[in-house]
Structures are given as C-alpha cells and as structure tokens.
C-alpha cells in the first residue's frame, strides 16, 4: 500500500472519443437540466455561493442511449484499469457504478470544496456506498474551471480524460470558477 494519498488519484487520458464528447454536449441543450444543489447530512438541498449558474442532468434517461452507453463503457474500462493497476490484495472487486450525472458550469460558476460521500444514489434500487469517484471532462475550450484536490493541487484534465479517485473524506475537491465559456463534465460513483 502506498502512503501518499495522491498516489490513488489517476488520470486516464483520451478515454472518451472526441466524437462522443461532442455528441453529448450537442444533446445537452435538449435535455432537462436543473440548477445544481448539494444535499447536506440532514438531506436538505442547498445551493452554495458561486454555484448559482451550475446545472446538472441526472437519471438513466437523461441522455440518448448512444452517448450514454459509450460513456458507461469508458467508465467501466477506466475503473477496471484502476483496479488492475493497484491490484489490492484486500479489495479486488466492485459491484457497479451509477449512470453518469452531467454537470454544466456556465461562466462565473464553480463547485465548492466537498467530498463525495454520496447517499442519494444508493437509496433506491442500488444499495451500497461509493468507493470511487469518476469524473470525465467533455470539453476543454473554456477558461478557469480547474479541478483542484487537497486544497491546492490542480489536476490537469483535457477533453476525453477520466479522473478516478477514492470517494471518502480524505479526498476533498472542487472546481474553480469558470472565467470564460462553459465547462461540461460527467461524474459516476463506483460501489
């Protein structure tokens, strides 16, 4: 086992084709995006300052099947590669992952620092706890919007990359303010 937390943060480059990224972004204006919220530990929804212009789309019917299946295949392959790379003796399997949730960051929006101790995804048919977070970047033609972990470590991401890291309190992260353009990404949680 490696003792440095950042050793368990993995960026897998070019895992989603440019065509699938573009098709997903092109489909987003036709979908039912809603203002993004966080659930606090009491289950109350809230919008953090600076997040007023961030939107999200979630649910298995949120995007057309072609792009959804391609993204889910990329997530599956990425998670499989993550587990094969680390080859943990004590943790060799995973049960599945959630359907991608899409985040749309308009100019001046951000995501405040948080951890991915997600409960809402696992209250219905899926039972479990999130063990890994998977973030995919669908475009990189915007300014700002850096993905930051551990308070000050920028994780460089390009269009089509996947970022995978443990979903627990030791991995706080945020997305800095978008200064120009719109940032499109998706997230899935492994259980």
H or E stretch covering 24: helix 18-27
In whole angstroms, give the CA distance from residue 133 to residue 115: 10
pLDDT interval class at 37 (50, 70, 90): low
- End-to-end CA distance of the chain: give it in Å, rounded: 21
Which pLDDT score is estimated for 107?
93
Kindly report the CATH number assigned to the domain that includes residue 64.
Answer: 2.60.120.620
Query: For residue 31, what are the CA distances in angstroms to 4, 56, 63, 113, 191?
Result: 41, 10, 7, 27, 27
Q: At residue 40, does pLDDT exceed 60?
A: no
In whole angstroms, give the CA distance from residue 156 to residue 147: 7
Which pLDDT score is estimated for 136?
98
User: Per residue in 118-128, pLDDT tens?
Assistant: 766 676 777 77
Structural domain tally of the chain? 1
Domain that holds residue 24: 5-190
Which pLDDT score is estimated for 126?
73
Which pLDDT score is estimated for 67?
86
Q: At residue 56, does pLDDT exceed 80?
A: no
Strands 183-190 and 101-105: antiparallel
Q: At residue 5, does pLDDT exceed 80?
A: yes
Which pLDDT score is estimated for 63?
67
């Amino acid at each position: 086992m490696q003792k440095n937390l950042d050793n368990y943060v993995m960026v897998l480059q070019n895992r989603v084709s440019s065509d699938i990224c573009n098709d997903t972004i092109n489909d987003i204006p036709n979908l039912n995006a809603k203002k993004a919220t966080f659930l606090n530990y009491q289950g109350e929804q809230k919008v953090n300052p600076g997040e007023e212009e961030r939107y999200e789309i979630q649910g298995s019917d949120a995007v057309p099947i072609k792009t959804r299946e391609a993204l889910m295949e990329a997530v599956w392959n990425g998670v499989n590669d993550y587990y094969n790379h680390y080859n943990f003796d004590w943790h060799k399997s995973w049960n599945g992952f959630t359907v991608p949730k899409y985040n749309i960051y308009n100019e001046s929006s951000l995501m405040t620092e948080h951890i991915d101790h997600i409960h809402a995804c696992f209250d219905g048919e899926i039972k479990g706890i999130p063990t890994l977070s998977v973030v995919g970047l669908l475009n990189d033609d915007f300014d700002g919007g850096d993905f930051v972990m551990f308070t000050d470590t920028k994780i460089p991401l390009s269009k089509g990359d996947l970022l995978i890291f443990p979903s627990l309190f030791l991995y706080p992260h945020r997305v800095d303010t978008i200064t120009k353009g719109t940032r499109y990404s998706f997230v899935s949680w492994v259980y």
